[in-house]
Structure 1
Amino acid sequence: AVVREGWGDTLPTRFAVIGMGRFGGHELSYGSDADVLFVHEPREGADEQEAAKAAAKVVAEMRRLLQLPSADPPLLIDADLRPEGRSGPLVRTLGSYEAYYRRWSLVWESQALLRAEPVAGDEELGRAFIELVDPLRYPAEGLGEDAVREIRRLKARMEAERMPRGADPTLNAKLGRGGLSDVEWTVQLLQLEHGWAEPGLRTTRTRQALAAA
C-alpha cells in the first residue's frame, strides 16, 4: 500500500529478490539472517531515476514489514554480498550487475553466487539474473591455480576469525577438521572447478551437489 501510494498498481520497474547463502541454498537455520541481492529493471518507457526510486522503496518497505512484531522472530535481511558491499547501492539493474561483475568480480563473489537463486518477485527477471551469473559461478574450463589458492586462503582466514577463543579446533563441528565448513567449501570448490561440465553440480543445495560430486 505504501508503494502504491506513489506509483499506483503498476510500478515503473520490475523487481526480483535473489536468495544467497543458506537462504538461497534452502539451508536456513532458525534465527539466521537471510542473505539476498535485489535486482530491478525499468519498464519500457519508464524514467530510470523514478524506476530506481520505486525499487528502493520496495526494499525499504519489505525490510520494515519483515521486522514487525510477530509470534516468530523477525527475518533479518542481509544484503552485504551485493557488489561493493555496504558501500554499494542496495538495488541494481541487471545491466549494472553485469558491468560490475565483468570488470570487478573476484573469486569470492563467484563462490558466493553458487547459492544464488530467485526467491521472490518477477520470475523472468530472476531467470535473467541467473543466466547472467552462471558463467561466473560455473566458469568454462574451471578455475586456475591462483583462484584455487585464493579460495584456500579465504577459508583459512574465515576459520581463524570465527573460531571461538579457547575452543579446541579438533572438536568444533562447524569449523574443525572434517566439519561443516570443510564439507561446504570442498563442494563449492568442486562446483567452481567442474560445474561447467557436470550438470549435477549446478545446484544451490550442498547435499545435491555432494551427491553429484
Structure 2
Amino acid sequence: MSARINPSILSADFVNFERDFNSISNADLIHVDVMDNHFVPNLTFGLPMVARMQQITPKPLDIHLMIESPDRWAPGYAEAGAFSVTFHAEAAESPVKLARTLRSIGARAGLAIKPGTAIDSYLEVLAEFDQILVMTVEPGFGGQSLIEDTLSKVAAVRRKVDAEKLDVWLQVDGGIDETNIERVANLGADTFVAGSAVFKAEDRQAQIDNLRSLAASGIAHRH
C-alpha cells in the first residue's frame, strides 16, 4: 500500500492557482475544498471554478464538498470530470444512493465524517464508497490543529477495511504535517490532505516527498 499526499488548495493563492498547481506537481491528487457558507461558516468556490481548475492541471481533482444538499449538487462535479467527489454524511439525505450515482457518472465516491459524528453506522456500508474521509479538525477553516479524539475512528475504519479486504481509501484531513503524519499512517490512514504544511514550505515538492516518505514509514510499521 502506498501513501497518497493531496495538498489542499485552501492554503494556495486563490488568484494564482495555475502557478501554485505547478509548485505541487508531484502531488498524488489536488484536494479542492468547496464550501457554501451554510454547511460550514466559510465560502470558497463552486462548480465553474472547479471546472476551470480541471482545465489547467493534469492532476486528478479530489473534491471535498462541505455543502448542504450534496444529493442535488455533487453529481455536477462528477460530470465536470472530477476524479473523486467526497460529500458529508451529515448533509446527505441518502449517502449510499448518492455514492452509486457518482460512481455511475465515472467519479470515485467519498464519504466524509465530521469530528463529532460517530463512524459506527457507516462501517456496515463501507463497500459502497471508494474513500472514507475522517475529518481530524472541524471543517471550514485551514490551519487548525489535529483533534486527537478523531484518530480512534481512523483505526476503526482501517480494521473494517482490512477485515473485509475492501478497496477503500482512508483519508484524513486537518492538521496533518510532518510531526504527526507517520503516526496517523500507522493507525490506518493512506491518503493525506495537507494544506498549510505544504504551502508554507519553501520547497513544496520536497515537502510533499518528505510527507509521503514519513507516511510510507508509518504504513510499513503497522501491526
With the shorter chain as reference, the TM-score category is 0.3 to 0.5
Answer 1 or 2: which has greater helix percent: 1
**TM-score, normalised via structure 2 length:** 0.31
**TM-score, normalised via structure 1 length:** 0.32
Answer 1 or 2: which has greater strand percent: 2
